[in-house]
Structure 1
Amino acid sequence: MPDTKIEDLRLEVHAATADMAAAAAAHTADVLTRAVAERGAARVVIATGNSQLAFVTALAGYEVPWSRITVFHMDEYVGIDADHPASFRRWIRERIAEPFGPARVEYIDGEATDVEAECLRYEALLRSAPIDLTCMGIGENGHLAFNEPDQADFADPRWVRPITLTPESLHQQVGEGHFPDIASVPPTAISLTIPALLSARTVQVVAPEERKAAAVRNTLTLPISPACPSTILRRTPHAILYLDAPSAATSQDLLPTPA
């Protein structure tokens, strides 16, 4: 399969979304299986959202020692209940917890009355042992989790914090069908920070679909700065970015021909 490297970031480009998803799923299964073999347990942070659906669906076809794995997620809206159709807790429960049966799932409580206390609680859980793998995507505005342009801090001392969504992120949530209109999207969320996401031993980024093409090109070409948070991936040698042909379409001059 074609792969390349841009600065420190490894990339794989696949012609079909299904092939990209299978490659990412195989990679996830390998990383987690090796971690369990080496240490008896593994810990993984998993992104939610439409861009991760093909990858998570493909993951069902691989043997993973889920009974020894603890799962975290990377963000949740403030004030949303766990059964709301757009809740990231619900996404993890329905697509990871119920079908795969991991040893434990640690959820961010979007309904916590004390948001700062919930951030500290979740940060303590994350820091309690090494994270083996972060599985994430790239937002249409270049955000990672909900670390927004010009708000993200590459050296943030905190691992979890409250954030305010940008207009672009609000529109993305509506465009993906999670909310009927902008007014329905919660304006704030709890999010893992950039240092938390990149603290994992391995970082896997899955960014399919034509709507991510501009974000992918920006990731690969813009100056590395919080103006486009995903550019930090080019300084992350333990990261690998999986693309399909549509998401790689505007970056063809930088990338190998898709397999």
Structure 2
Amino acid sequence: MKESLQIDNLKVEVYETSDAMGMAAADFVQEKLSAAIEEKGSANIILATGASQFKFLKALKERVIDWHKITVFHLDEYQGISDTHPASFRKYLKDRILDAVQPKEVHFLNGDADDLETEMDRYAEILQKHPIDIACIGIGENAHIAFNDPPVADFKDQKLVKSVILDEACRKQQLGEGWFPSLDEVPERALTLTIPAIMACKAISCVVPDERKAEAVYNTLNNEINTDVPATILRRHEQTRMFLDTASATNL
């Protein structure tokens, strides 16, 4: 570790490389999962997607974890695309970790369901029955968490899952990461866990590499806690750890 700091309740760790960052986050998540399994015989986890999670998921897949006792959820999914679409978050997680580790259960949020209201209610009901031991998240270039972009972020949301309009900065990020061939093909809407759903998790691992996230990281740690910078809410969670590399910590 290069350095560590604490902002309000949020513990922040900076690593020299994204590989070291990913391994440290995997160790943290392994520790939380193992403690939950030891305490109650099972664990529940939320996994994130996107380019920022590559190194972390690779490291997590290599950890010795009793996945047969773990139930997996995920943060969000685009509306209107199937689980075979190259940008589908369901496909992302199957390809990068789930097919390899074979968890006890996996609950996907189906963005192409025929009845999205019913689908959101279904997912929220399952979430309520599985208190989450650790959520693995990132933050966007606009400092969103999940798909709670600044225009739709609500710290007091009454729902656990909702349908949102993606703002332009978010859609440009998805294009820039190479998930879609053109901005026109980036969906305008998505289903997402809300901020209260994420904040209700017992622990949160927030992995944020790359210089393109440096401004969002700075704003998250320095701005007033409000929905203009949704990730600032993480500073109120007592069991959140943010993992950075030197590039994402450039502005600190």
- Normalising by the residue count of structure 2, what TM-score does the alignment of the two structures yield? 0.98
Deviation at 1:40? Answer: 0.6
SS in 2 for 1:60: helix
Deviation at 1:55? Answer: 0.3
Query: Is 1:134–1:198's contact at 8 Å kept on the other side of the alignment?
Result: no
For the residues of structure 2 that align with 1:59 and 1:22, how far apart are their CA atoms?
7
The letter of the residue matching 1:206 is: V
1:137-177 deviation per Cα after TM superposition (whole angstroms, max 9, x unaligned): 00000100000103111011110000000000110000000
Instruction: Specify the alignment match of 1:42 in structure 2.
Output: 43
Instruction: Specify the alignment match of 1:33 in structure 2.
Output: 34
Matched, 1:131 2:167: no
SS in 1 for 2:62: coil
SS in 1 for 2:212: helix
Instruction: Specify the alignment match of 1:257 in structure 2.
Output: none
Query: Is 1:170–1:182's contact at 8 Å kept on the other side of the alignment?
Result: yes
Matched, 1:11 2:12: yes
Deviation at 1:96? Answer: 2.2
For the residues of structure 1 that align with 2:183 and 2:29, how far apart are their CA atoms?
34
Instruction: Specify the alignment match of 2:86 in structure 1.
Output: 85
Instruction: Specify the alignment match of 1:194 in structure 2.
Output: 195
Deviation at 1:114? Answer: 1.2
For the residues of structure 2 that align with 1:30 and 1:235, how far apart are their CA atoms?
22
Q: What is the aligned length?
A: 251
Instruction: Specify the alignment match of 2:150 in structure 1.
Output: 149
1:197-236 superposed matches below 5 A: 197-236=198-237
68-77 or 148-157: bigger deviation: 148-157
Identify unmatched segments of 5+ residues in structure 2.
none
SS in 2 for 1:218: helix
Query: Is 1:150–1:228's contact at 8 Å kept on the other side of the alignment?
Result: no
SS in 1 for 2:123: helix
RMSD (Å) for aligned C-alpha atoms: 0.8
Deviation at 1:92? Answer: 1.2
Query: Is 1:20–1:242's contact at 8 Å kept on the other side of the alignment?
Result: yes
For the residues of structure 1 that align with 2:112 and 2:151, how far apart are their CA atoms?
27
For the residues of structure 2 that align with 1:62 and 1:46, how far apart are their CA atoms?
15
The letter of the residue matching 1:229 is: P
Query: Is 2:111–2:191's contact at 8 Å kept on the other side of the alignment?
Result: yes
Deviation at 1:223? Answer: 1.2
Deviation at 1:119? Answer: 0.7
Instruction: Specify the alignment match of 1:254 in structure 2.
Output: none
User: Following TM superposition, where does structure 1 have runs of at least 4 consecutive aligned residues deviating by more than 4 angstroms?
Assistant: none
Deviation at 1:250? Answer: 0.6
Percent of aligned pairs with the same amino acid: 43
The letter of the residue matching 1:70 is: T
SS in 2 for 1:34: helix
Query: Is 2:136–2:204's contact at 8 Å kept on the other side of the alignment?
Result: yes
For the residues of structure 2 that align with 1:189 and 1:58, how far apart are their CA atoms?
28
Query: Is 2:120–2:161's contact at 8 Å kept on the other side of the alignment?
Result: yes
Deviation at 1:110? Answer: 1.2
Identify unmatched segments of 5+ residues in structure 1.
252-259
Deviation at 1:129? Answer: 2.5
Deviation at 1:115? Answer: 1.0
Instruction: Specify the alignment match of 2:74 in structure 1.
Output: 73
1:74-101 deviation per Cα after TM superposition (whole angstroms, max 9, x unaligned): 1001110100000001011111210111
The letter of the residue matching 1:124 is: E
